[in-house]
Amino acid sequence: MTEPLFGDAPALLRRIILARLLAWFKVPIPVSTQRPRDLPPEFIRILLIGGNRKNKITVSRTFAIEAWAGNSARAVELVEATYSIIHSLENSVVEGVHIGAVGDFALPADLPDPDTAHSRFTFTTEIDMSYIDTI
């Protein structure tokens, strides 16, 4: 067996969150892996900040998730929805990726951004991912 390629985990997570936030709020919420140059009124940012390889077919990815909004109440609403979405993925298969354990490093918390007037809440999570085509 050749060494597996573990895929673009932030892009996968972005697609999932984007679709599920739309279903949740009924309006599109921008989801990105970068802070937009022109800040929209609200958005979610996904940062892949590390992880480790658990075995030949499974990696554990660590993500920081940030929710930005015009006020703290809305930022909390967005971060809590995103937190719930990510935890709902545990033990599922999405786009050929088995998502195993989902764990918390840091629960949602206020993390003010000194460079903008936006409110920002963040959490850090670890997601085990096994790529089905490597099994």
Residue-wise pLDDT tens digits, 7-59: 799 999 999 999 999 999 999 999 999 998 888 999 999 999 999 999 888 99
User: Beta strand pairing status for 43-53 and 92-94?
Assistant: unpaired
Task: Tell me the one-letter amino acid at 132.
Answer: I
State the pLDDT confidence band at 118, using cuts at 50, 70 and 90.
Answer: very high
CB burial of residue 122 (10 Å; 0-12, 13-18, 19+):
buried
pTM of the model: 0.92
| CA-CA-CA-CA torsion sign (111, 102, 48, 28) | negative
